């Protein structure tokens, strides 16, 4: 079992950048693929990016591809999401998840509490 805590969210202007972090306060992320999902008000939680246990393979939603980079540091028990050229439509609560590498929410049994990202136009 792993307990996750996200940080790094905030208010940023369109075109800006943020780096989200997800640290495990209990357990180790090294046993899991890791992912970021996001949920905007009134919308379903959607896949953003995922990374394999080794970090060798990464996957992105089309909406963030080319603007975002997921990475992990297993020694620090932390996964990151660097987001550049942010757009107002990126506004959402961002969640970190641990599980099997996939774009499906149901493949991730462990979730953080989320961190708010707001992009102003």
CA-closest candidate to residue 121, choices 12, 17, 19, 10: 12
- The better pLDDT of the pair 97, 1 is held by 97
Calculate the CA 39 to chain-centre distance: 11
Q: Which two tokens stand for residue 27?
A: 């357990």
pLDDT of residue 70: 98
Average pLDDT over residues 2-21: 97
pLDDT of residue 62: 97
Average pLDDT over residues 64-70: 97
Calculate the CA 34 to chain-centre distance: 8
Q: Which two tokens stand for residue 8?
A: 């790094």
């Amino acid at each position: 079992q792993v307990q996750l805590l996200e940080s790094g969210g905030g208010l940023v202007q369109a075109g800006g950048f943020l780096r989200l972090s997800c640290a495990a306060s209990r357990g180790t992320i090294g046993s899991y693929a890791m992912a970021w999902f996001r949920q905007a008000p009134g919308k379903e939680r959607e896949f953003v990016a995922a990374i394999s246990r080794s970090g060798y393979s990464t996957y992105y939603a089309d909406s963030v591809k080319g603007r975002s980079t997921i990475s992990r540091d297993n020694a620090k028990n932390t996964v990151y999401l660097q987001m550049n050229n942010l757009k107002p439509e990126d506004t959402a609560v961002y969640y970190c998840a641990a599980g099997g590498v996939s774009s499906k929410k149901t493949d991730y049994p462990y979730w953080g509490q989320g961190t708010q990202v707001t992009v102003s136009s």
